[in-house]
Structures are given as C-alpha cells and as structure tokens.
Structure 1
Amino acid sequence: MSSHGDPIPMTSSACGPLSGVAEVPGDKSISHRSLILGAMAVGETTITGLLEGQDVLDTGKAMQAFGAEVINHGGGSWSVHGVGVGGFAEPDQVIDCGNSGTGVRLIMGAMATSPISVTFTGDASLNGRPMARVTDPLALFGCQAVGRAGGRLPMTLVGAADPVPVRYTVPVPSAQVKSAVLLAGLNAPGETVVIEEEATRDHTERMLAGFGAEISTEVTDEGRVITLKGQPELKPQHIDVPRDPSSAAFPVCAALIVPGSDVLVPNIGLNPTRAGLFTTLREMGADLVYENEREEGGEPVADLRARFSPDLKGIEVPAERAASMIDEYPVLSVVASFASGETHMPGVKELRVKESDRIDAMAVGLRAAGVTVEDGPDWWTVTGLGHGHVTGGVTCASHLDHRIAMSFLVMGMATQKPMSVDDGGPIATSFPIFEALMGGLGADIQRGG
C-alpha cells in the first residue's frame, strides 16, 4: 500500500522510440541539504530548482517545526529564513519524514547537538529501516536515542546540552551517516573529524563550505579525512539546484533499451561521487555522451544524450564504484537484463537496507520476468538475455520503494510482454512527474489493476 493512500497499480508496455528532452527534477540530495543548511544559517537563503517531491517537502516541514521560516514562491523557487547554528526550537509535534531515509538521518544529525527533544516517525517502509548506524555516532556527541527494537522508528532523540566534538570512522560507506555526523559537528565546539575509507557523495562538504563553514578534506592512509570547525555562523546562500542524476537514470536507461530512442537530459549534476552509473553504462557499450559540460554552483553539470544501444555487454562493476551509484543499481540491473553476458555487482550490501531490500526486490521481479539472477549478502549478478529476448509479463512488488517501481516500469518499455507494479504511489516521493515525463517521450505507462 502506498504511504500516501491506496495502492496505485501501474503497467508499462513496449513502445516506439523514445525521443525528446527529459526535464528531470532537481537533485534530491542537494534539495534536502539546501533546506537544512538554510535553516541553520542566519538570514535568508534562496533556492531555485528545488525538487518538490514528498521527501523534500517533508524536510521543509521539519525545518519549519524547528523554527525556520520556509516559503514556497512557486515554480521550484523557495526561501528559508534560518535560525542559525544551535538555534533550533523544540518542535511541538512529531516529525514525520514519510519515506525519506536521507531526510530523517540528516535532520537527526542537525538537531543532535541542540538541547531539544524530538520524536521522529515515517511511513511503514521508513519505520522498518535501522537508525542505529546514525544514532550510534550521534551518541558520541552526547545525544540520546530511544526507539523501537532494532533501533527503528518511531524514535525520540534528546539532543546534547553540552556537546563534545568527535572523531568518527564511518564503518560502511554512507553519505547519510557522514553527513549526519558533520551536521551534528556544526554545533559542537572544536573540530569534528569524519573518516571514510571509501569516498561517498560529497554534497554536504561542498555546501558547508559554500555556507561559510571551515571544512577541509585530506586523503591519508586512513582514508578520506574530513575536518569541520564547530560553531560557525553560516551565511545564507542562493542555491540553483542541478537536475538529479538519480532521476535522470530512468529516462537515460529507458533510451538505451528501447529501439530507435534518442533522448536529451539537460543540466544534470555530474559530481564524481554521483556519476558512477553513467561511467558504468559507457563501459557496457552505451551510446551516452556528455554535451555542454560546465560548472554551476561548485558542481559539475552537463547535458546527457542517450541513444538506443543494441549491443550492450555485461561487465564487472568495480566494488569501489558502489558508493557513487548506490541508488542506481536497480535500474542498472534492468539494463543488464538486455545486455549480453553477466553483469556482476559487488560491494552493494547497502542495498539491503534501503527503502526496501533492493537486491531481493529486483532479483525476484527479474527472475519472474525470465532473467537469471544470482545474489549474496553484498553482491548480485544479472545474466542478460540480449536485446529483444526479455519476456516480462509479470506484476512486481514495489515494497513502498520508488526506485523499484520506476525500474520495473522502465523494463516494461522493452520487454515482450508488459510489466506491472503493484503500487506506483511511492514514485511521488522522489520523481512526481515521472509518468508525465516518460509519457511525453513516448512511453506507454497506464494506471489501474
């Protein structure tokens, strides 16, 4: 069942060539951080191109609950009147983060070093996801957490009245955990240090620097060492949010597997900690090119042109690339189904604890559609059937996971028989215009059982 009402079954059928310009929404990661850092700055931060999916809207509501003034001016233009580092007020109500693991974990970090108590909850999917990976390092600052068994929501955090800086090595590559610790370190005295053995998306570091925080990154024998000086006065910014590469993945991958397709996706953020999917697709033989490469707001940006690629080959995806494309493995597995040979994807245990167990969810659906999939605790292998040979014709469970739903709908655009998902409602959390955008390119997606 959708987190926002009754289930919305959807079916995707084989279609003619996809063509046109795919104006995908703003980057979700940057949108979340824009609202949170804007709320922690002193003065008015203005934002254009904000992703107005439910996940980000929930973060905006949370910042209002903490005392910031968050105003929607229409057309993706927003402003945030911040309360300053350490200025969060105690919310009157429970903070509902809906489906967003990013939202809840970043907000937990932002409030962990303020002397306030906050209760967090979410939808059924979010309330089943473990939070200890964030609350454990936040406890080092002096923050206390009480939740359900297994460190699950609903959960109450009592922020540290007298926080201390920490030095923390992230045990598993996770931009969410790293970012939560850095946001907590903003209101701790002295220097907070985060060490990650594998680089993850660095939007938080880039944006903290942009807001005036004193932050540095050094690569040492320990890994990537990020040092943040606490208790700065963050300066308000104007942020033009680039388009989301994770959302761009869907029209791009669809174009690669639908005969005759030629799709342009403009203004995509190509931060090297996010662009692993596009590198992987090119290694598989995808006709994917970058046009008009440039830099906007400290982030590399380009226009992506994706064309039908009938001779895709399976590859070994380097494990060290996983952090830069962790959200894109579901739709990559769809492309791999239309390639020749095996695509092996190691180092992906993070997929087991996303909105759903994404390895299991995709493996079950792909097998039902006629594709061979093997999987283990932190790896999976898809044996592709080549273009035109994937049967389809099944209904797959989305498990309240937007990326699972969209991936199977992309698959149905090139299978012999239509592909259905039991509930496409969660798509609205990250890509509310998905159906309209794909339909405008020529896709055939229908609602109904």
Structure 2
Amino acid sequence: MPPPLLSCLLLLLLATARPWPVAAAESPTRPAAKPRALPLRARQVPAGALPRPPSKLRFHHNVSLTVSLAVGTPPQNVTMVLDTGSELSWLLCRHQRRNASAPTTTATSFRPSASRTFAAVPCGSPQCSSRDLPSPPSCDAASRRCRVSMTYADGSTSDGALATDVFAVGDAPPLRSAFGCMSEAYDSSPDGVATAGLLGMNRGTLSFVSQASTRRFSYCISDRDDAGVLLLGHSDIPFLPLNYTPLYQPTLPLPYFDRVAYSVQLLGIRVGGKPLPIPASVLAPDHTGAGQTMVDSGTQFTFLLGDAYSALKAEFSRQTKPFLPALDDPDFVFQEAFDTCFRVPAGRPPPTARLPAVSLLFKGAEMTVAGDRLLYKVPGERRGGGDGVWCLTFGNADMVPLTAYVIGHHHQMNLWVEYDLERGRVGLAPVKCDVASERLGLML
C-alpha cells in the first residue's frame, strides 16, 4: 500500500457470540450449513501493526472487519483483521524478546510453542511455491523451512515462517489453515486496540476463504457503533433485495491485474443524478490490466483514477459552489490524495443534506454515497476565522500512486455487501444495519 493516509479510521470488531461453520464446501446434493450472524462494533485501531502487500494503500490506520478466533491446541484467542483485499493470513507470533528495549508483544499475540498442532511449512510443500502473493514465499536454506515477507504501513518489512495450525470460531469444527507467523509488528499508539493478525479473505489459494471452502459471506457496516453484522455462509434473505454485479476476470493473464481480488465492472458515475462525461475506456482495465475496480474491506475511502477523479471533482465542486466555499489552496492536499476540499465555518457542521449524492454504476447494480459519508474533517486544520477544512472522501488514485479503482469500506456503510464465490458475483442492497441485524436475529 503506497503513502500514508488518514490519521484516524474506524475498526470494526467482531465478537464470537455464535459459531462459524468452516467445513467443506457445500454441494448441491448436501444441505448447506446454516449461516452464522456475528455482531460488529466500531473501535479505533492504529494500522501501524498491520503488514500490507505492495498492491494496497499504506495508511496510518485502516478500516476493516475483525474477527475473534481460537487458534492452536489448546486454543489461544486472537483478534484478526478481516481483509477482502489480502490473501495470506498472518499472526503476530510471540517469541523471546531480543533486548530489554524492544517493545513488548501484545497480549493478543499467538504463542506457537504453546500449540501442539502448530507446524512449520517445509520448503518442498506446494504452499511454499504459491505465486498468488505479491512477494512469493522463499526457502530458508539452513532450516529448509518456508519463509514469507510482508510490507508494513511505514514501508518497513517483517518476515516470518509460513506455518499451519487449527483455526476455529466458537464451537465450530477447527480447520487447519496456512498463515504467516510474523516475528514483530509496529504499533505506535499506546491506547490503540491490539490486533494479533490479519485474516486474508480474497480468492487466492492461500486465503482463508479458499482454505475453509467458504463460498459466500456478507456484511453490513453500520454508521452506529454496535449495529453492524457479518454473515458467514449461504444467506438467501427475503427482506434484502440484492442487486448483483458479476466479478470481472479477463480472459488472458495481465501483468497489472490482480486476478484474486474482488473485481467488478465500473460503468459510470453520477453526481446529483447527472452522469459524468467519462469515456467507457477510462473506467475499464487497459491492455496491461491497470484500471480494474476492486471492492476492498481493507481500504477506507474510495479512489478513482485521474481522469475519472477530475470529472468528479469538477462536477461536485460546481454543484456545491452556491453553499459550500472551496478551500482555494492549490498547495493543500490532505494525506497526499485528497484535494477536493472546502471551508466550513467554525462550530458548524457541513450542509450534508444539500450535498449531491455520488453514485457508482456497475453492471446490474449501483452504490450511492450520500450525506455525511461524502466529507471528512481534516484533523487540526484551520483557516482564517477558525474555519474547519473538510475534504471529499474520494481520493485521486494517480496521486497515491495506485493503478486501480478501489471501493473502500467507508462508502459501504448501511449497505449489505455479499461476496458470492459460487456464482462469481457481488451483491449490493441499501439497508439500515440495525434493522438488518434485528431481522437476521429472528431468522437464524
């Protein structure tokens, strides 16, 4: 993930109130396992402790789902970020401290020596030859064990052993899964919520989704602290009229196309109901694969490539000019990607009710961002008279730089999002998460 972004983002923490079945994939001849609903609540967590593949954005903090799991034998409880944009799961493994000045490992880290079922992956294993990862595994010549390396938010790296152990949620049957047993992580915030690792949920062979044979999962991210829900398993829900858009996969391998991401086809953008004059070729991947559109729970805001971003900036600014003064500071770019910014008088909220909604149009579905999800207050930034600075929550991918459109978590609030790997599609439906959570509780 390239340059730092955002100083404080929400992290959604998952309680293990009910079990998650992670057995074999369902077949047409066998009844599907009953889906499990898990509650979500919002917490602040620094992402300095989270390794990030180079293909993902580097943030000070990050918005993602997290799940509480039991790993190893006897089970150790750990909290892991649920990331649909990453493949390899990893855990911060607790080892002997090398010196007294080294930071202590968090209480939520994993202790491999305490697990009877922990096993290092040997170099000759097929798991060690995976080419889906941004940085392929390597072989340690001395131990003949497989090694993995991850990139941190500040550009540093951490490496560790590729290993396997048993994973379980609640009282569901445990599943043996491969993961990176990382030696150290960075967390500069003394009051941040500790996370022991990351649960990779993309379509790669080493992702938890693939290893657990989970063919469908969905979530609703609430704008309230405690009303979100994650549903794991098949979920035909009659009160959610989902509109589906197919996952996009080019017929030939392309160098810059992430084939294991959840990629969809972006067909157009509307601002306040007005279609932007963006050629279809600008919204589609080019001959190299650059320009794909990814749905990523590990990124907060949405990023558009340069031409599309310029069209959005011009039209949004034009429609808001009568009531929302532009910042008019060409040198100001918030966190190196947000330069559509405005001044709001001190002590007043921005006029969110008057802001034109931004709709992303896909084949068969659309996503609308409206109201207070459109603007983000820049912390500590003031202008003459104490005016606050607020920026549009769509970033310029070219400034990052990033070669893809990325649909972030913040813009998925109060939207049911379903990942259906069985049928190769993503489903979307606007819904109040507290209502959906309540109705799901009656159904399951």
Going by fraction, where is helix more abundant, 1 or 2?
Answer: 1
Q: How does the TM-score come out when normalised to structure 1? A: 0.25
Going by fraction, where is strand more abundant, 1 or 2?
Answer: 2
Q: How does the TM-score come out when normalised to structure 2? A: 0.25
